[in-house]
Structure 1
Amino acid sequence: MNEATLKKAGQHRVAAATESSPPVRVGLVALGCKVNQYELDALGTELRRRGYVCVEADEPADAYCVNTCAVTATSEKKSRQLIRRLHHQNPQAVIVVMGCYSQRAAATVASLPGVRLVIGTGGRARIPDWLDQQMAARISMAGDGEGDGDGDGQGNRDGGSAGAETRVHPVYRLRDYEELPTAFTRHTRAVVKIQDGCSLFCSYCIIPHLRGPGRSRPPEAVREEVRQLVAAGYQEIVLTGVHLAGYGEDLPGEWTLARLVREVGKVPGLTRLRLSSLHPNEVTDDLLQVLEETPAFCPHFHLPVQSGDDDILKRMRRRYRADQVRRLAERLRRIWPEVALTTDIITGFPGETEAAFARTVSLCQDVGWSRLHVFPFSPREGTPAARYPDQVEKAVREERARELIRLGRELAESYHRRFVGRQVEVLIEEEDPAGRALIGLTRTYVRVRVRPGEPGRPDAPDESEERSRPPARSLIQVDVTGADAGGLEAVCRSA
C-alpha cells in the first residue's frame, strides 16, 4: 500500500477502536516558550479531530508527545527528566519527542527509555499519521491476542527505545513556514504563532542553529486563525514567534509586524491582543502608532535586554545599547502610563566584570521592570560565547542571578502597589487550588487573586457566591485590595 492508503487505514482503525473500546489517550506536554506550547496545542487539535483523547502529562495514556527546549543546559536536563518520568509512570506508552532539544541531540533522545519517534523542529504535521499507524498496529495485535506490544512488531516489552525512529533533518536551508492546524488550547489565552526561525545569531544563542532562518506565516492564515479563536470564545490572543519582529522579512508585499498587527486588530470581537517578545531596537515608530490605534492591544512589552552594559551587549551581538533601553522605557510610559515592562537578564556572561554587572543592576533600577526573568549564563556548544576565553565562574554567575532576582521582587512589588485601591479588568483563567478564589491576569500582565463579594468580607465564599462565580475566559472588573511581589489581591462585587 502507498503512504496515503496507509494513512487512511490507520485513521480508520483508530476511529473504529474508539467506537468499540476506550479511545486512545495521548498526553501532551510542552517545555519552554510560547512557540512550543502553540505547536503542541496545534498537534492536539488534529489529534482530537481524529478521535484521540488528549490528557495532561501526569495522567495515564497510550502515548505521550513532548515538545522539548534547549535554550539552556537546564532546559535540556528537564527535557530528559520529563521523558524518563513519563516512561516510569507508564512503561508501555509510546513516547514521541519533538522540538529544539531533539533537533540538537537526536541520538541522545532516541536512546531514552520509551521513546519511539524523534522529530526535530520540522515535520510536526506528520506526527498524527505516525501515531495512527502505531495505535492501529497495537489495536490489531491486541485483537489478535498478542498482548501489549510496542506497536511495530519488535516486541520491545520493557518500553525501551531500541526501535526508535528518528526524523530529524538539517534546518539551515528551510525557507517555508510549516502550517499547523488551528491551536485550540485548553488554556484561557490563545497563542498564535506567526513566525518561526531566527537569523540574528546572538553570540550566546543556540536557537538559530535549531530552528533555522526566519520564516513568516502568510498573513491571511494568521488572520483566519485569530478569527476562529475569537469565534470559539477566546478573549485574549498572544502573537508569538521565535523572532517576532522578523515577521515579513521573507514575504512579498512589504509585510511587517506593524502591518500584521493592524490587520489582526480588525478581527471582529477581538478583546485583547498581546505581543510576546520584542528586542528594544525593534519597537519602531510604525509599530507604536499601530498599537496606539488598536483598542485590543494590551500595554505590556517584554523586552529581553539581557544586560545593561554596552560592552557586554556588543559581545552578545545585540543591536542596541543601554541608553536606548532607558529612552524606550520613557517613551512607552508617556504613551501608556501604566505599561508593564518585563525583561530577561543573563548574569555572568563571559567578560562580565563587577562594574559591568553593576551597570546591569543600574539599568534595571532605572527602567523599573515589572517582572525580571533572570538566568545565569549557560554555555551552548556551537555558539561563539561558549568559546570566549574569559568565562565567569559558575558560583559568581549564580550569585549575581540571586541578587537580580531579589531586586526583581522589589521592582515587581513596587509596580503592583500602584494598583491598590483602584479598579482593574481581569481575565479569569482558573480557580486556586483551595477553591477560595479565582486567578486571572490584568491587561498589563499582572496576576490577580480574586475573591467574590464586597471588600472586607471573609475569604470563604458561601453557596450563593459559588453559584455566581464567573467562568474561565470571563472578563470582570475587580477592586484591588492588596499587592505583593507575586501580584494583586482583589474582590469582585459582581462575582
Structure 2
Amino acid sequence: MNGLNKSVYIETFGCQMNKSDSEHMLGLLEDIGYLQTSEIAGADLMILNTCAIREGAEDKVYSYLGYWRKLKESKPGSMIAVGGCVAQDTGQQLVKRAPYVDVVFGTHNLHRLPDLVLEARKTGKPLVEVFQELPDDLPEVPVIRQSDISAWVSIIYGCDYNCTYCIVPYVRGREKSRAPASILKEIDELAQAGYKEVTLLGQNVTAYGHDLKPEIHLGDLLRMIGEGSSLNRVRFITGHPRDLRAEIIDAVADVESACEYFHVPIQAGDDRTLRRMARGYNVDFYRRLVDKIRTRIPEAAITSDLIVGFPGETENEFMNTVSLVEEICFDSCNTAAYSPRPHTPAANWEQQVPEPEKYERLRFLNQVV
C-alpha cells in the first residue's frame, strides 16, 4: 500500500449524492492505504467535498480552506484536496486563490482520486483535473459506508433539464444511468451484509433508464429489486414531476419493500413562475400527479421542495404557492429563498427580489408548511 498508516478526513457539504460520493472516496483511498479518521487535526489528507447549489458556496469553501491551511502548516507532508460541485465549477481558479491546495478534482472523475493523490504527493505540486463529462463506461468504485443499516446507491447521474435557476446540469452533466445488473449486484451484496434499507439516488432519479438499451424505467428497477433481494425497505430521491410516470407509482404500490414515499419537487405554486423557471409543467399537472399517487396509494407520504423570491415573483404569485401548499397538505417541505447561481439565466435577470423580502416570504411560508 502506497499510503500505509496514513489517515484521511472528509468534510461533506450538500446533498445525499455528495454523501454517497464521500463514501466512495473513502473506499478508493483505502486501496492506497488511507484510513478514515474523524479527527481533522493530524490527518494526512483532508478532503473538502463541496456543494454549489446555494449562493455563498465558494465563500464557505475558502473559509474552511483558510483554517485547513493552518492545520496543513502544522503537519509537514499533509495534503488538502477539494472535490465536488464547486471544484467542478472553478477548477484551476481554486488553486490560484488557494495555492496551498494539493488536489482539485471534479464530479466526473471521482474514480481518479487515488492516482491524483499519489501524483501530487510524489511531485509536491498542485494538481487540477476536471472532466467535462462522465466516462462512457461508468466505473464501479469501492465504498466504505457510514451506516450498517441504511445505504445510498446511486443509479443515475446528472440532469437533462435546464431549469433557469439550477447549476446542477452544469456541474453534474447530462443524465447517465447505471446498468441494472451493476445496481442489483450492489444491492444483493448489501442485503447479504445485513443492510435493511437502501435509498436509490440521482439528481433526477425518476428519469432512470431512459438512456439504456433496452430502455427501462425506475418502476422496472423497483420490481427487479423486490424480486431479487431481502431488503426491508427501498426508497428513491430525488426526481422531477414530469418523469414520475404511472408505472413507477404502480411499482411502489406493488413491491412490498418499496416505501410509500414520494419526494416530488414543485418549486413554485404559480404557473407564470413555473414557466419562467422552465420546469416544464403547470400547477394543474402537479395537482393531477398528486391525485394519481393518492388514488393508487392513499397512505403515501408526499414531500416537496419550494423556492421563494424567484426573480420577478410578485406578492400574488408567492401567495399562490402558499395556497397550493395549504391545498396539497404535504407531509413536509424543503424551503429556500432563491439563490442566484453562476451559469444560470435567472441570475442575470432584472427584477431580483430584495433579500429582506425573500426572507420574509420564506418565514411566512415556513409557518404554513
TM-score calculated relative to the size of structure 1 = 0.69
Match of 2:13 in 1: 31
| Residue 377 of structure 1 pairs with residue 359 of structure 2 | no
Shift of 1:67: 1.6
Q: Which of 128, 135, 143 is residue 183 of structure 1 equivalent to?
A: 143
Number of aligned residue pairs: give it.
364
Matched, 1:231 2:192: yes
Within a 5 Å distance, the mapping from 1:440-479 to structure 2 comes to none
- By relative contact order (CA 8 Å, sep 6+), the higher-ranking structure is 2
The 1:305/1:85 distance shift into structure 2, 3 A limit, reads: farther
Using the TM superposition, give the Cα deviation of residue 175 of structure 1 relative to its aligned residue in structure 2, in angstroms. Answer: 6.1
Q: Counterpart of 1:79 in 2: which secondary structure?
A: helix
Partner Cα distance (1:57, 1:406) in 2 = 38
Q: Secondary structure of 2:43's partner?
A: coil
Q: What is the letter of the counterpart of residue 176 of structure 1? A: D
| Residue pairs, 1:289-328, within 5 angstroms | 289-328=250-289
2:156 aligned partner: 195
Q: 1:283 aligns with which of 220, 228, 244?
A: 244
Measure, in 2, the Cα distance between the counterparts of 1:387 and 1:285: 37
SS at match of 1:402: helix
Q: Name the residue aligned to 2:221.
A: 260
Q: Which runs of 5+ in 1 are unaligned?
A: 1-10, 138-151, 154-162, 409-495
Contact 2:202 2:239 in 1 (8 A): no
Structure 2 residue aligned with 1:441: none
Does residue 1:103 correspond to 2:65, yes or no? no
Q: Is the 8 A contact 1:84 1:113 kept in 2?
A: no
The structure with more radius of gyration:
1
Which residue does the alignment assign to 2:59?
A: 77
**Alpha carbons 1:203, 1:385 under 8 Å: kept:** yes
Distance 1:370 1:76 in 2: 33
**Root mean square deviation, CA, Å:** 2.0
Structure 1 segment 390-429 matched on structure 2, within 5 A: 390-408=351-369
User: Percentage identity across aligned positions?
Assistant: 32
Q: Do 1:202 and 1:316's aligned partners in 2 also have CA atoms closer than 8 Å?
A: yes
The 1:300/1:87 distance shift into structure 2, 3 A limit, reads farther
Cα deviation 1:128-164 (Å, max 9, x = unaligned): 13334556x5xxxxxxxxxxxxxx35xxxxxxxxx42
1:70 partner letter: A
In structure 2, C-alpha distance between the alignment counterparts of 1:251 and 1:335, rounded to whole Å:
28
Q: Equivalents in 2 of 1:197, 1:393: separation in Å? A: 31
**Conserved? CA contact 1:27–1:59, under 8 Å:** no
Alignment pair present for 1:350 and 2:311: yes
Partners of 1:368 and 1:58 in 2: CA distance: 43
Q: How much has 1:182 moved relative to structure 2?
A: 4.2
SS of 2:220's partner is helix
Report the equivalent of 2:103.
117
Give, in whole Å, the separation in 2 of the partners of 1:25 and 1:78. 24
Deviations 1:219-238 (A, max 9, x none): 11111111111222221100
Distance 2:355 2:102 in 1: 36
2:44 aligned residue? 62
- Distance (Å, rounded) in 2 between the aligned partners of 1:362 and 1:85: 45
Give the drift of 1:302.
Answer: 1.0
Look up the equivalent residue of 2:104 and give its one-letter code. Answer: V
Q: SS state of the match for residue 343, structure 1?
A: strand
Whether contact under 8 Å (1:280, 1:305) holds in the other structure is yes
- Runs of 4+ with deviation above 4 angstroms: none
Q: Hey, what's the Cα distance between the residues in 2 that align with 1:189 and 1:81?
A: 32
Give, in angstroms, the shift of residue 58 of structure 1: 4.1
Q: Tell me, in whole angstroms, the C-alpha distance in 2 between the residues paired with 1:272 and 1:87.
A: 43
Q: Is the 8 A contact 2:50 2:82 kept in 1?
A: yes
Name the structure 1 match of 2:128.
166
* Alignment check: 8 A CA contact 1:177 1:195 kept: no
Q: CA deviation at 1:406?
A: 2.2
Per the alignment, residue 46 of structure 1 pairs with 28
34-43 or 381-390: which moved more? 381-390
- One-letter code aligned to 1:165: L
TM-score (norm 2): 0.92
Deviation sequence 1:374-414 (CA, Å, 0-9, x none): 11111122211112222211111111111122222xxxxxx
Using the TM superposition, give the Cα deviation of residue 360 of structure 1 relative to its aligned residue in structure 2, in angstroms: 0.3
Q: Report the Cα offset of residue 104 of structure 1.
A: 0.9
Residues 389-398 or 181-190, more deviating: 181-190
Unmatched 5+ stretches in structure 2: none
Corresponding letter in the other structure for 2:47: C
2:347 aligned with 1:386, yes or no?
Answer: yes
Cα offset for 1:54? Answer: 0.7
